[in-house]
Structure 1
């Protein structure tokens, strides 16, 4: 599949899901502003939990609301392209809201995953996934890697 074919709006994804067997769908979401080894490790581990990894990506406006006016560093068109270039990522869907709740309702994943800084009971969309017998997991983060740390290092020389 061409990398650009992995970047969809939610309506197109729903159409593909209804016409094709995507197997066990794993969903995660985030800003993925400056992709680093911790992100790649996390996404590879998330992908290993199923057949198709769907990444919900916060839009630029959503990132700014969540992280502040200096973020994102990279615009959504660049962040989607980089994520879609990873072999472990099946699809990338940009969402405008502050949480992926509505997106999760439409994607209907079998597995919902967030990083270890999110306790399972606080993961948005947990109710949707568990209602249908799915799994919700919090994966341990890779130590020593964070976007904030990279930004601080760049800012402070």
Structure 2
């Protein structure tokens, strides 16, 4: 996921302030994800669960990232698509539901860990992070297709 992010930053970075901001937020989110999951380059030698506070911070960042997409970025992309013809509109029409399907997974994950009353829920974190990682990786791919449209028409 980090290598795909670097490709996106190289391709679209510097072309549009909104794109730069969003990719920066994606990078921060991925770093938090990799730290929580203990994935390279953030793996540790001791196998221990992350702190409950770190998981909740990640959940907040995750929801912020998803919200930014839905309430800021996607609106601009859809507006650009409306202005630039039926092909662009069709792309947006196809991609937005695919992106939205991962929103439910993100919100379920966040609800589970922010509303938990016991830290025992952390015993399920590895499996939940694995499912979440797969979902957000797909989401990032769809978002990158939308970013291409935004870049094409706004830079």
Category of TM-score, reference length = shorter chain: under 0.3
When normalised by structure 1's length, the TM-score is 0.24
TM-score of the aligned structures, taking structure 2 as reference length: 0.24
Higher helix share: 2
Q: Which has the higher contact order (CA 8 A, sep 6+)?
A: 2
- Higher strand proportion (structure 1 or 2): 1
Structure having the higher Rg? 2
